[in-house]
Structure 1
Amino acid sequence: MEATPTTLFLFSLLFFIPTLSSAGEHHSAAPSAGDFIRASCRSTRYPSLCEECLAAYAEAVRHSPRSLAHAALSVSADRARAASSFVGRLSAPPGGRSAHSGRRGGGAVRDCLDTLADSVDRLRRSDREMRRMGRRGTRSFEWHLSNVQTWVSAALTDESTCLDSLSEDSSGASGARAEIRKRIVDVARVTSNALALVNRLQGRPN
């Protein structure tokens, strides 16, 4: 029996239906953890940096806003500690004599080191506080979240104060100040991102 145009159309339709169905299922699949992080980072001031820092946490974070904020805090605390150690080494090299002793710039670096130490302490406390928050919607959750927001905001202020002190000082050791500033700018940006992700926890599921 010779195939008619109608028969050929029906056969071709049957052939393509499974393909179209499969494509539709793939398109409607749930977003990946990486997509979740990417979408969440759009709410931050430095989204590219946010994605770069948090991509490695995708498996642990999955689709949890709280886990993502906690990971961002951990990144911020780690970078703040590393920056503090760097500034400490630069301001007190081997030999016991500060590289900036006797210079006006030494005071700016020491002030920066002091405020950075405060920032590290507040970020550490925030990291610990995140573990005590309890279930969303409870008074415990709101209390601990408020503490985290306050401390991360204060840490960001410390980092900004450090940058201001370095910018206002116009004395020697400009190369050292530039390197310190570069480190602190990075810390301030990841802290800003962490604060944005923490703030998103209000009124959102865990």
Structure 2
Amino acid sequence: MEAGSLLVCVLIATLILEFSAHINSSSATRPVPSNTNTQYIRTSCSNTTYPRLCYHSLSIYAREIKTNPKLLVNTALSITLKATKSTSRLMKRMSRIHGLKPREAAAVVDCVEVVGDSVYELQRSIAEMAHVRGSNFYQVMADVQTWVSAVLTDDDTCMDGFAGDPMNGNVKTLARRHIVKISHLTSNALALINSYASSHTN
């Protein structure tokens, strides 16, 4: 293996360990809620695309959420935003690694841009949720649905840059691991948003 390729592998491995430790530690510090606090989360998550991930990510916040669908949506969006910010930082660090192949470097740069867009769209969604009122409920929810759907498109756009066997390697593996995670979180958040929007009555 060439020295440049070895250096890239070492740097990628370091990034994997750092971000895995960050993600694992974020949920380990919270107390485990009682069964009565988690049943609402379990039921709500059963209608998402990735119910296990949904329940695992949200159940530790069950005491705060209780049975409030708006708080459920806000929490799901906040969790997704936190993961997306971490992925954005990761992509920026990857873009500064020397020794990437030209196509890898171009794909990472594209991901930096679109994941940055995702952070902005999620921030807008969370801010807009704070303004939900009876009179503007459907307009606000339509805007939030549009922005969160755009995040899913951003995730697809990022991974499109790594398409094809020639792109296989540590860079693609690391990018895919984190993009898939935020894509699944986003999909679950959108499902909860859709459920909240459809269940609302004037």
The separation in 1 between residues aligned to 2:165 and 2:99, in whole angstroms, is 16
Q: Check if 1:83 corresponds to 2:93.
A: no
* Greater share of helix: 2
- In the TM superposition, what are the counterparts of 1:65-144 in structure 2 within 5 Å? 65-93=69-97, 98-100=98-100, 103-135=102-134, 138=135, 140-144=136-140
After superposition, give the CA deviation of every residue in 1:74-131 in whole Å (9 maximum; x if it has no partner): 01111000001011111114xxxx442x622211111111111111110111011111
The separation in 1 between residues aligned to 2:165 and 2:158, in whole angstroms, is 11
* 1:162 maps to amino acid: C
Sequence identity percentage: 35
* 1:133 maps to amino acid: V
Q: CA deviation at 1:169?
A: 7.1
Higher Cα Rg, which structure: 1
CA RMSD across the alignment: 1.8
Q: CA deviation at 1:164?
A: 1.8
* 2:47 aligned residue: 43
* 1:194 aligned residue: 189
120 and 168 in structure 1: CA distance in 2 versus 1, 3 angstrom threshold = farther
The separation in 1 between residues aligned to 2:40 and 2:197, in whole angstroms, is 18
The separation in 1 between residues aligned to 2:198 and 2:110, in whole angstroms, is 38
TM-score by length of 2: 0.77
107 and 58 in structure 1: CA distance in 2 versus 1, 3 angstrom threshold = same
Which of 172, 176, 179 is the equivalent residue of 2:174?
179
Which of 185, 199, 202 is the equivalent residue of 1:204?
199
The separation in 1 between residues aligned to 2:167 and 2:52, in whole angstroms, is 34
TM-score by length of 1: 0.76
Which of 145, 152, 157 is the equivalent residue of 1:149?
145
